[in-house]
Amino acid sequence: MKIILKNVNILSPGSKHHMKVKDVFINNGMVEKIAEANTISDKDAEVIEGKENYISAGWFDLHVNFRDPGHEYKEGLVNGCKAASNGGFTGVLLMPSTEPAIASKAAIEYVIQRTKNEIVDVIPAGALSVNRDGKDMSEMYDMSLAGTKVFTDDKRPVSDSGLLIRALQYSHNFKGKIFSYAEDKHISGKGQMNEGVVSTQLGLKGSPALAEEVNINRDLFIAEYCNCPIHFSTISSAGSVALIRAAKAKGIKVTCDVAVINLYFNETALMGFDTNYKVKPPIRTEYDRLALIDGLVDGTIDCLTSDHCPDDVENKLKEFELANYGISSIDTAFATARTATKDKLNIAELISKFTNHPRCCAGQKTILIEEGNQANITVFDPNKKWIVSAGDIRSASKNSPFIGQELIGKPVCVINKGQIVKI
């Protein structure tokens, strides 16, 4: 396979070609040559051209659910990879929220073997606790030998402080990483959305930002005590940003990410009781939304994630209180983030939140666009305007609040493992 990326803008911090317009020649899955624009030609090569196109290291999504094993009808591994590549991603960190949970060496190996021929690199995260029940620590070391460095109970918070201490200290011995979802269930209770004026108007039970912030504060104290790194998944409030900003200034080893939906909408989106806006953590106030964007700008928030949680119609088309949490969002994640941050975050800074920053958080090797390196590349147009339709969603589930939204920025194609997928 020969491909010429002609006249493209390269975004690859650390590469000598960063922020330059070049031609890139890819042969048999490797970057064979990078030269001045419009100077490379090969009659046997497929040419992808356009001055509006940018290229970067392939995007990596730090928080996805593909529902296999257990609920493949919502999203199987193979179709999940198709949705990921359609969204511009060449790598994903798969959450262990399956049935049974990904909590053993065999489960890790199953996911890796099942997806090894897909264009998307699927890195399964292992469950932190047995069955994700928050009681006993899982076989983390065995799972690390099978190919993962991340351990999490996904959207189930670790309520047992002693368990969190043991998990941090134990995983640190083999360079594992604990991902924490911050929520004090005794505070959030059965909250359906953000607690505030809008939840009162709608008559829905609210989950206050306090539930997240109390848990983050506790986990930061524990991480500092253990002198171990910790990562917070999908933070959602201004208070959380402030706590993590202060912790970083203090020298605590902490990273975090935010889901793109929390950058785009505020709680007023729920005024119509549309269950496609029912997510965990909840969409919060406009003040929180803007604080999250500020956290991206100043580097407090390290990564962006789709928080892809596909679900079937039967579990979403219900009364609001009975509907499942989550949205199908990997197909539109980049465009959502680009649209929400275009006036605050330049394209190079935005792309860093989708590429090597999440790879570092997941314990994966970073990628540079240099001659002699493997071609793991996303080609995209950061300024293309488009209206999302159901046909644009390759996920098996269509529970997306972005259908009908006009977004900015779209992937053109992805290249990885000697394969190419055009979008």
Helices (H), 25-139: 77-86, 105-115
pLDDT of residue 144: 96
Report yes or no on 367 lying in a domain.
Answer: no
Total Cβ atoms within 10 A of residue 14: 12
Which region holds residue 418: left if phi is over 0, alpha if psi is between -120 and 50, else beta? left
335 and 378 in a single domain? The answer is no
Helices (H), 173-285: 185-188, 197-202, 209-226, 238-250, 261-264
Per the residue annotation, which of 288, 307, 311, 331 is the catalytic one? 307
335 and 418 in a single domain? The answer is no
In the predicted model, is pLDDT for residue 50 greater than 90?
A: no
Total Cβ atoms within 10 A of residue 358: 26
Prediction pTM value: 0.96
Residue 307 annotated among the catalytic residues of the structure: yes
Q: Which residues have CB under 8 Å from 158's CB, separation 6+?
A: 128, 129, 134, 164, 167, 180
93 and 238 in a single domain? The answer is yes
Per the prediction, the chain carries an average pLDDT of 97
If you average pLDDT over residues 168-182, what whole number do you get? Answer: 97
pLDDT in tens, 83-109: 999 999 999 999 999 999 999 999 999
If you average pLDDT over residues 75-90, what whole number do you get? Answer: 97
pLDDT in tens, 279-321: 999 999 999 999 999 999 999 999 999 999 999 999 999 999 9
pLDDT of residue 224: 98
In the predicted model, is pLDDT for residue 51 greater than 90?
A: no
Total Cβ atoms within 10 A of residue 419: 16
Query: Which range of residues forms the domain containing residue 310?
Result: 58-361
133 and 31 in a single domain? The answer is no
205 and 260 in a single domain? The answer is yes
pLDDT of residue 276: 96
64 and 197 in a single domain? The answer is yes
32 and 64 in a single domain? The answer is no
Query: How many domains are contained in the chain?
Result: 2
224 and 179 in a single domain? The answer is yes
pLDDT of residue 1: 87
If you average pLDDT over residues 69-96, what whole number do you get? Answer: 96
If you average pLDDT over residues 183-208, what whole number do you get? Answer: 97
Report yes or no on 352 lying in a domain.
Answer: yes
Total Cβ atoms within 10 A of residue 383: 13
Report yes or no on 252 lying in a domain.
Answer: yes
Spatial separation of the C-alpha atoms in residues 352 and 86, rounded to whole Å:
19
Report yes or no on 71 lying in a domain.
Answer: yes
If you average pLDDT over residues 66-82, what whole number do you get? Answer: 94
Report yes or no on 383 lying in a domain.
Answer: yes
pLDDT of residue 133: 95
Report yes or no on 366 lying in a domain.
Answer: no
Total Cβ atoms within 10 A of residue 322: 9
Spatial separation of the C-alpha atoms in residues 420 and 423, rounded to whole Å:
10
Lowest mean pLDDT across 40-54, 82-96, 108-122, 220-234: 40-54
From the centroid of its chain, how far is CA 120?
14
- Picking from 324, 339, 361, the residue at the C-terminal end of a domain is 361
The DSSP element (H or E) to which 181 belongs, if any, is none
Q: Residue 80: which CATH number?
A: 3.20.20.140
If you average pLDDT over residues 108-127, what whole number do you get? Answer: 97
- Picking from 339, 361, 383, the residue at the C-terminal end of a domain is 361
38 and 119 in a single domain? The answer is no
Percent of the chain whose pLDDT exceeds 90: 99
